[in-house]
Amino acid sequence: MPGQTKITTILLAAGGSTRMNGVDKIVAPLFGRPLLEYSLEQLAKSPSIDSIIVVAGETNAGAVSAIAMRAPTDKISAICTGGTRRQDSVRAGLDHVRDATHILVHDGARPLLDYPLVSRTVEAASTYDAAIAAVPVKDTIKMANDDMTVLQTVPRDRLWAVQTPQIFKADLLRTAHRTIDCDVTDDASMVEMLGHQVKLFMGSYENLKVTTPEDIAMAEAILRSRSKVVAQ
């Protein structure tokens, strides 16, 4: 049907785990399940997500493929291996995108993605060409020099901590990846470098990124709290 929205998700599972004491965070156990399973499950059950491309790393490709292949969904259209940088992994995923109008990018290291956040992401795509999940910064932010002397306190009233999911019109994201090759930390930065407007929508303070063993403990505490709410 003309004008129909088709969303493909690129689920990144190729990142390194340098602060996880040698444990690959993507397959680290979270209440006995591999961390990647959580976000994959939430994305798969959204009726608005048409297909999912899982991007593994060279060192965890076997484990990630096993997780993806046993997932109870038929939405996984490809499992591929990413590159050295985050953006290289997204590009690897883009090579497998077929007829999508929009591309949602999510970090597999954010296991606490929930259905409402996926829904807000999809809703943002109906209005904006580029939109990203973010939350207002709560802490006071200070800039410092190399010897850790404070240079200034940054007003936080306009500061947002950026998360994933991030969603883009497919052609816009492809153009960004063809045009920008400098190191970036997210896809929105590449779109910004094109001079294109990027909109924020409300993420979730629970949508943490697992980078240390302490984050696993925090994620388990949040999941435990959620299960208590459901049980009430």
Question: What is the maximal distance between C-alpha atoms in the chain?
Answer: 60
Asked if the structure places residue 19 within a domain, the reply is: yes
Q: Do you find a cis peptide bond into 34, omega within 30 degrees of 0?
A: no
3-state secondary structure of 177: helix
Sheet holding 76-81, edge to edge: 76-81, 49-56, 7-13, 102-107, 160-169, 130-136, 199-202
pTM for this prediction: 0.94
Q: Residue 89 to residues 20, 82, 112, 124, 216: CA-CA distances in angstroms? A: 21, 4, 21, 24, 24
Asked if the structure places residue 148 within a domain, the reply is: no
Summarised one tens digit per residue, pLDDT across range 120-160 is 999 999 999 999 999 999 999 999 999 999 999 999 999 99
Nearest to 90 by CA among 102, 80, 100: 80
Asked if the structure places residue 178 within a domain, the reply is: yes
Average pLDDT for 70-98: 97
Asked if the structure places residue 150 within a domain, the reply is: no
Q: Is pLDDT at 230 greater than 90 in this prediction?
A: no
Nearest to 94 by CA among 74, 108, 80: 80
Q: Show the domain range for 128.
A: 7-132+163-231
Q: Is pLDDT at 228 greater than 80 in this prediction?
A: no
20 falls in which pLDDT band (50, 70, 90)?
low
Tally of domains in the chain: 1
Asked if the structure places residue 100 within a domain, the reply is: yes
Would you state the pLDDT for residue 231?
A: 58
Asked if the structure places residue 75 within a domain, the reply is: yes
Strands (E), 137-180: 141-144, 150-154, 160-169
Asked if the structure places residue 140 within a domain, the reply is: no
Asked if the structure places residue 2 within a domain, the reply is: no
Average pLDDT for 195-219: 97
CATH number of the domain at 200, please: 3.90.550.10
